[in-house]
């Protein structure tokens, strides 16, 4: 699960459907340096005039050239060599149920004993897959994208995820949903990392983007019993008012750690009408 977002907020701003559809983000890399990425991105977003924005991008690119998230080589947010060397998960060896790297024959990671603390006997989705193992290199890609605001990484990350997604999923013509960020995380970063990733994935997979879930809502866990805590976690997502989930959905996030955030998102999508749900993440802890 990506508990990487930290504590859940009590409410959040729903992702804008209009904003989340249609237009593919521009191909210009976002300006950054390894010291000042967040600031430069924020400044860039405040610009209204396209001409001024472009001029600013050129200026910022000169000052803070785009660099590889892993090796720091200039010119690209993720260089071909580092892309090649990422710790890819072999889908022929991985567990199709939970995406564990070596669980194809017998998986030790999606059994009822391990899932019991989260209130499950088995994962609530149909199948899950992750593109890479969350090594230090993969983590650098994720943190540079998410926490340092390098939005230009969304496209190469989505390209990797598309390449590694099981072909049978794509053959089912799924819609692409995502696990929305908390209001606090979205405000802190200035964008919803999973939403942008889903938008890029919908282009790469030629699939419909479906912003179906409201941002997570969770009560203060401290005073709750264990059962109430599990229930609280399981109900932290819901389908946006008036939305109906398509029949087949791929729900995406950047990282799967224990799975519980994606479990909760899956449950909400199921309640919202989705029949077949696949969970796809870039990295798996």
**Could you tell me if 263 and 253 are in contact, meaning their C-beta atoms sit under 8 angstroms apart?**
no
- Taking the complex as a whole, the smallest distance from the CB of residue 71 to Zn ion amounts, in Å, to 3
User: What is the closest distance, in whole angstroms, from the C-beta atom of residue 49 to Zn ion in the complex?
Assistant: 34
CB of 214 within 8 A of CB of 238?
yes
Of 44 and 97, nearer to Zn ion (C-beta) is: 97
- Quote the tokens at residue 184: 């606090």
CA dihedral of residues 59, 65, 69, 73 (deg, nearest 10): 170
**Residue 82 C-beta: closest distance to Zn ion, Å:** 3
Residues making contact with Zn ion (CB under 5 A): 68, 70-71, 73, 79, 82, 95, 97-98, 100, 103, 107, 109-110
Q: How far is the CB of 62 from Zn ion (least distance, A)?
A: 21
User: Smaller CB distance to Zn ion: residue 15 or 156?
Assistant: 156
Rounded to a whole number of angstroms, the minimum distance from the CB of residue 77 to Zn ion is: 9
Closer residue to Zn ion in complex, CB, 115/165: 115
As a whole number of angstroms, the distance between CA 180 and CA 40 comes to: 24
DSSP reduced 3-state for 280: strand
CB of 81 to Zn ion, least distance (A): 6
Nearest to 6 by CA among 214, 207, 181, 203: 181
The three state secondary structure string of 91-131 is CCCCCCCCCCCCCCCCCCCCCHHHHHHHCCCCCCCCEEEEE
Rank residues 20 and 279 by Cβ distance to Zn ion and give the closer one: 279
Residue among 124 and 180 whose Cβ is closer to Zn ion: 124
Between 26 and 80, whose beta carbon lies closer to Zn ion?
A: 80
The contacts of residue 164 (CB under 8 Å, 6+ apart) are: 88, 89, 91, 129, 130, 131, 132
């Amino acid at each position: 699960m990506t508990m990487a977002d930290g504590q859940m907020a009590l409410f959040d701003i729903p992702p804008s459907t209009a904003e989340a559809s249609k237009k593919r983000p521009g191909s210009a890399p976002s300006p950054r340096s390894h010291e000042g990425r967040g600031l430069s991105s924020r400044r860039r977003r405040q610009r209204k005039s396209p001409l001024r924005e472009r001029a600013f991008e050129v200026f910022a690119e000169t000052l803070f050239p785009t660099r590889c998230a892993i090796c720091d080589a200039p010119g690209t947010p993720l260089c071909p060599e580092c892309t090649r060397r990422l710790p890819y998960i072999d889908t022929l060896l991985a567990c199709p149920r939970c995406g564990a790297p070596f669980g194809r024959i017998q998986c030790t990671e999606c059994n009822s004993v391990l899932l019991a603390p989260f209130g499950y006997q088995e994962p609530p989705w149909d199948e899950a897959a992750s593109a890479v193992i969350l090594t230090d290199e993969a983590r650098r890609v994720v943190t540079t994208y998410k926490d340092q605001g390098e939005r230009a990484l969304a496209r190469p990350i989505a390209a990797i995820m598309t390449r590694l997604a099981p072909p049978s999923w794509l053959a089912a013509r799924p819609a692409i949903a995502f696990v929305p960020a908390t209001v606090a995380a979205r405000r802190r970063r200035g964008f919803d990392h999973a939403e942008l990733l889903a938008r890029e994935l919908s282009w790469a997979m030629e699939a419909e983007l479906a912003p179906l879930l409201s941002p997570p809502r969770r009560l203060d866990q401290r005073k709750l019993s264990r059962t109430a805590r599990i229930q609280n976690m399981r109900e932290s997502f819901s389908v946006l008012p008036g939305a109906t989930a398509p029949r087949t959905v791929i729900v995406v996030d950047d990282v799967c750690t224990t799975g519980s955030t994606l479990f909760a998102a899956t449950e909400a999508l199921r309640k919202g009408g989705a029949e077949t749900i696949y969970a796809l993440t870039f990295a798996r802890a």
